[in-house]
Chains A and B, each alone.
Chain A
């Protein structure tokens, strides 16, 4: 059996009194599109930093494609590409120079064919010779993605890659990342845009105060913590106690959870039978935001 793309076992990290990571156990299998979610300060970036060798943990082990990030750091780092959260760049160099240097740091020379391919995929070809200082924020973000990919790592970690990025660029970026995932790359994503995580990730871990508080497939999380909802606005208030889970959502709206669409017709006819008149109606799919709020509240 092949090694997991990422293995994290019993990882703890303290900064003074603060437990940044409090016993994290996690495995990400090869080829997964994995989401790492949590509120600010949950430990996501610390965990990614530990994986990338930027932070040293107090306890526990981390491995990338079976290579320990401390004992076998050279192989572990070759297998990992990290897009950092901060918009960092070296003002001395052009885009192409930055990518050539990054390639060289990983021991690869004459890598221009791949560099050109990445630049084209990220729509940066026309900026290849521009100094990094001259790029917009979105372009700098794309260069960071390019730098993470320059050594063709099988595992790619994106720490808040779309923070402050406009919609068009975000779509283009996700298209590209999805293609990488289809080509076999393992993707680990942290984001505050939960709808992105819901659309992209097959599996999700939620962190709170340095601990994993939920870990499952996206579908299972949605099924467990959120349900479909029928929202109706009635012309006059009617007691809907006979509909399990029905609750007042304010402004004349009532929310009624349900499992399958077959139940909707029955619910509407029962409302009509009690004299209720539906003025407006919305069907809501389960969303990760509800799951997130539920998990964080419970944890």
Chain B
């Protein structure tokens, strides 16, 4: 078999490597987050399903599923890029990706897409297991896909920034525990913001994660706290800002090329 030179092969190989990397430890990277989400679902549905309905007549457990799915997509997209980059930096094998003729745009695209793939695997896993417990409507699948992709891309970019910036795992876990986790938990995963006092509703509107989850949920129920177009605008703007920031760090070789 003759070797062949392929266009964008560097990007494709890096994407393949990043997917293979998480797939080789899929119990940890896919199985565990699915289990965590399902445990949330079991516990919250057991406690609240008979007491709470949302959007008029949507049972609480059904309402909860899209939020948990999106939360899993977001957290895993962040975890994929951030952990891969910091591991490669600390062990030094990042050099294998920096020596070849891969442009910084290809580098960005490969890492972000791989993170979206992991998010999609986990999200699909949560949906499949949830379907054993509830019947989930799908009103506008295009919105589901758009928000899953954009949300995954935002957190993947954010993960790249954290992975590039952090010099040790401790700094990365600070990102995860003091920023990503609170923003996700307070984004309306477990409740509609209309159930909150006015002040907290206003605060929720400042949280970009709220728009990702609210828009994603619209795709299932055709109802949301704010218009999906508003959410799309906010989420797209967030992605553009984070993508520009990440690309500029990569272009400058910030903490990667001394």
Q: Which residues of A contact B (CB under 8 A)?
A: 15, 49, 52-56, 73-75, 77-78, 80, 82, 84, 86, 88-93, 97-98, 101-114, 147, 151
Contact = CB atoms under 8 A, between A and B. Distances in A.
A55, A73, A89, A106 interface centre (most CB from chain B within 10 Å): A106
A92 B20 contact: yes
Interface in B94-115: 95-103
Contacts of B9: 104-109
A87 to B, nearest CB: 8
Given A101-B17, A113-B3, A106 B96 contact: no
Contacts of A105: 9-10, 13-14, 96-97, 99-100, 102
A101 B18 CA distance: 11
Contact of A53 (B20, B91, B92, B257): B257
B24 A92 contact: yes
A56 B257 contact: yes
Contacts of A78: 101
Interface of B: 1-7, 9-10, 12-14, 16-17, 20-21, 24-25, 88, 91-93, 95-103, 253, 257-258
Given A107-B5, A107-B7, 11 more contacts: A54-B99, A56-B258, A75-B101, A88-B93, A90-B88, A101-B16, A101-B17, A104-B13, A105-B13, A106-B101, A109-B3
A86 B98 CA distance: 15
Nearest to A101: B17
A104 B99 contact: no
B1 A112 contact: yes
Contacts of A108: 3-6, 9
A54 B100 contact: no
B96 A109 contact: no
A88 B98 contact: no
Contacts of A112: 1
Given A109-B3, A110-B3, A113-B1, A49 B258 contact: yes
Contacts of B25: 92
Nearest to B84: A92
Contact of A54 (B4, B10, B257): B257
Nearest to A147: B96
Contact of A107 (B10, B16, B258): B10
A73 B3 CA distance: 22
Contacts of B16: 101, 104
Nearest to A148: B99
A102 to B, nearest CB: 6
A56 B253 contact: yes
B231 to A, nearest CB: 36
Contacts of A52: 98-99
Contacts of B258: 15, 49, 54-56
